[in-house]
Amino acid sequence: MIQGIVFDKDGTLFDFAATWESWAKAFLLRASNGDTGQARRLGQAIGFDLDQARFDPDSIVIAGTPGQIADALLPHLPGQGRADLIAMLNQEAETAPQAEAVPLRPLLGALRARGLALGVATNDAEGPARAHLDKAGVTGLFDFIAGFDSGFGGKPGPGQLLAFAAQMGVPPHQVVMVGDSTHDLRAGRAAGMQVLGVLTGLADAQDLAPLADQVLPDIGALPGWLDAQDNA
């Protein structure tokens, strides 16, 4: 019996491309002081095509932490401090426009009405993550919100997911982890949870299927999936 669901944020609750492509362009131009050529080179370092405003499927931004993104950029930004660069990344992230993968309030409200505990586990920093959930008006619908800097580590490690299960008092095998990247699904497997992939990130079904119990088009398919489990 499923008692909890823990969601990745970017690419799962929010459509990845619609949200982060605009963030990447704004951040890269800021970091390069408006120098388009430099912004283009910085984009290459993190797997982002500035001219096409498009991420490579293996971009570090997809599943990496702000610290990992900063480390990829620092060799191209002599004189830039790591802490200042991470702060810049987080500042731009907080203001990134968020495109909900599906209308979140009705979906999350319906899941809570089933008696499910709900959590968010993201490799984003917790501050920007809460800002994004606040803007969507859904922070209060979650029992647990953790970023890579919340003290539980980041994905693909299982720390955030195990912390959710422990705080909710739910056995991990009765929790579903829902995510759009292989990092998410590997974290769920490592935590001993059921895992579902969604296609609102940049990974396709072929990438996710080997690691997932099932791949859904988006989180809007969750109620139907839960009904199927109840009737199995």
Last residue of a domain, one of 62, 94, 126: 94
Same domain, 126 and 206: yes
pLDDT attached to residue 114: 97
Q: Is 216 helix (H, G, I), strand (E, B) or coil?
A: strand
Say if residue 29 is in the same domain as residue 68: yes
Q: Are residues 224 and 133 in the same domain?
A: yes
The answer on 80 and 21 residing in a single domain is yes
Please identify, among 94, 110, 138, the residue that sits at the C-terminal boundary of a domain.
94
CA atoms within 13 A on the CB side of 94: 11
The residue type at 193: M
Residues 201 and 163 in one domain: yes
What Å distances lie between residue 147 and 29, 45, 64, 104, CA to CA?
Answer: 25, 23, 12, 19
CATH of the domain at 113: 3.40.50.1000
pLDDT digits (tens, 9 = 90+) for 8-26: 999 999 999 888 888 899 8
The residue segments making up the domain with residue 155 are 4-15+99-230
Exposure of 133 in the CB half-sphere (CA atoms within 13 A): 27
Q: What is the reported pLDDT for 95?
A: 85
**Environment class of 154 (CB within 10 Å of its CB; exposed 0-12, middle 13-18, buried 19+):** buried
* Separation of alpha carbons 147 and 142, rounded Å: 14
Same domain, 76 and 136: no
Q: In which residue ranges of the chain is pLDDT below 50?
A: none
Cβ atoms of 3 and 170 within 8 Å: the answer is yes
Q: List alpha helices for 82-181, DSSP H.
A: 82-94, 104-113, 126-136, 159-168
Please state the domain count of the chain: 2
The last residue of a domain, from among 60, 94, 128: 94
Q: How far apart are CA 108 and CA 50, in angstroms?
A: 35
Neighbours of 26 (CB within 10 A): 15
Q: List Cβ neighbours of 4 (8 Å cut-off, separation of 6 or more).
A: 116, 117, 118, 119, 164, 165, 168, 170, 174, 175, 176
